[in-house]
Each structure stands twice: as C-alpha cells, then as structure tokens.
Structure 1
Amino acid sequence: MGMMTTNQTKPSTPSARAPRRHTTLATELGDLMAVAEGEALAGLYFPGHWHPPAVGSIGAPVAVSGDGLFESTRRELSEYFRGERTAFTVPTATHGDAFSEKVWDLLAAIPYGTTTTYGAIARELGNVNLAQRVGQAVGHNPVSILIPCHRVIGSDGSLTGYAGGLDRKARLLGLEEPPEVAESRLF
C-alpha cells in the first residue's frame, strides 16, 4: 500500500450532539481509549493521559468490530504505525472553545515528518505573546495522534509536554522522521 496523504475531515457541528460510545484500540504505543460521537472521533486518549475525558462523558463501551468508525480508526492507526499512512481521514469532533479550535486546526495542518513550535503557532495566530495559551490548547487536544500535537516542540528544539508522555512523543516523532535525518543521527 502506498503512502496515504488524504487530509483529515471535520464534520459540520450538529445542533445536538450524538450519543457517545467508547472502545479500546491496541497500538504499538499501548492501548488507546477511543471515544466516538456519531460518526466522528471525539477523543483518543493514552493511559495516564494528562487531561482525560470528563467522568460520564465517554458513553457506553462497544466492540471495535461492527463499529465502522472504530474499525476505520484502528485500520488508519495501524497503517500509520507501519509507515504506510501520513495523514488521517477519520472525521473528528473536538468541541473546544474558539481559540482551542483554531489551534487544533493549525495542528492538523502540520505536515507529516515536520515539527513546529508553540511560538510559531502563536505568531500564526497573530500574537507571539499567546505561546503559553497555545501550549495549554495543545495540551488539551482531545484527539491524540490524529490531530498531531506531538509535532509541536519547544523553541530550543526540546521535547516539551505531551499529554501521553514524552516517551510516546519521542516515538511518534521518530516514526515520522525522514529517512535522511534518521540515517545522519549517530545514536
């Protein structure tokens, strides 16, 4: 299978939210709790996630098999971890405030294999002084991996905060690292 580069889609916001449901997806980085709202993924959380979903907000547990959205999410994540997918097509529904939604839209636009900084996102929003607020929005991204908050690093190039843990962030960035960069590293 060739590299997939289709952009992720975001459904229009319905006037009333669809009922939620959740499942567990096994991945190379551990189990992820996936939360769906209708036909959109509303959450993807690592164990020990810094900002887990609110109690009572994940809906009923369901099996992955027979749920088209969860089956698609599992397939796309598997392709991503095998290096066969560079973008996701699973629709998401994030429901953040206006500022967070702008930040998450910018995260979704960060190309595979590249990184940016909190300050660069703040500049893109028109005010470099918003870097700390950008960091808060990035940290509250409810859809890990699909909305690639792992691609945001410190201004000095350091790995900074990741709601799923810095070890996972490093592994995700390593997975996406261009071959020529990986080959030039001494470690």
Structure 2
Amino acid sequence: MAETEAIEADQETPGNAESVSEPETMQESIQEAIIEEQLLREPRKGIGLRPSDMESDEAEDGGTQTSKKAQDIIDKSKARASEKVVQEEITPEPENKPSPIQVRKKRRVKLSFQPAERKKRLDRSRHMEYKYEVRKLLVDINVAEEHRSSILGSVWAKGERQTVADAKEFLSDKFDEGILDDEQLDAMSKIVDNYTIRR
C-alpha cells in the first residue's frame, strides 16, 4: 500500500516523466514476483535450530546401550519367573479334604417385648398451644418476670419426658421457695392437668 501511494505521488508531479516509468516497471516486477510465489508455493525457511548429524549419532549409540541393559534385565526376570512356575508344578497335589461345613449361629430372639410404661405425661402435639397459654397465665397471675421462662420450660420438660407428677413436684418446690403462691400453684396445676394424656 505504501508503495502504491508513493507511486501515485510521483505521478502527480509533472516534471518527473522519466521517474514515472521506473516505478511502474518496479511495481510490475514486484507484482509478478508475488504472483509467482503464490502460484509456485515455495517452501518457507524453517524457524529454529536444526540438529547436527553428530549429535544424533551419539544419541543413537546411547539408546542402544540402554536397550541392551534393559534387555539383560528383562531376560533375567523372565528366567526367574519361569523357575518359579517349574517349582509350583513339581509340588505334590494336595489331598482333597472336604471343607468343614460352617454352621450358622442362630440369632437370639427376644421372646418378650417390653414396651415403655404408659404413664401420664404432657401431650407433645399440643406444645405450642401450651407455651402460649402458660405465658399468658404467668403474666395474668403476676409471676415474677425472671421466673417465667424457667417455670414454663421446666414444667413442660418434666411433664413431657418424665411424668406429670414430676412436673407438679417441680411446681410445689417453687411454692416452697416462695416463687409461687397458692393461687398461682393451683392455676399452673390446672393447666398441667388439661394437657395430660396417658402415653
């Protein structure tokens, strides 16, 4: 492209008639050379170093030495392997002894199934209902705020996991400590009785 622009610039100048013919011939020769290269497809020069013949000869000699050593090792290992096979073939055949029959041990079956004792406990399915009702009751009967959470959780835990009697015993302990009075104890006992089932 740069050559064509330079040629056009030369052609525009009126005083250079002889110089116009020289670039035209140069341009034609360049175009012909490019066309010949494209048509003939001359191979390009390779990039990089080419190995010399001496180095390749040395590499081949070293490779044959290594392969000879490797072949010796392979031959020795094959000879050792064939010796072991021969020794195994020489050994006498073992007598056919009947294998002892393994008797399975019978599993001990529990003859008596003992379900958990059915006792009066709080109904698990009504836990959320219990929480809301007891919270409201504790506020209504004026139980001290620092004891409300403890009473709510402990009564439910003892009544659900152990028995209702344990939950009522916990309430009576709180009465003895002075945390609950008679009216509060009766109200809580009624709630526990309402949520009691036998399971």
**Range into which the TM-score falls when normalised by the shorter chain:** under 0.3
Structure possessing the higher radius of gyration over alpha carbons: 2
TM-score (norm 2): 0.23
TM-score (norm 1): 0.24
Q: Which has the higher contact order (CA 8 A, sep 6+)?
A: 1
Higher helix fraction (1 or 2): 2
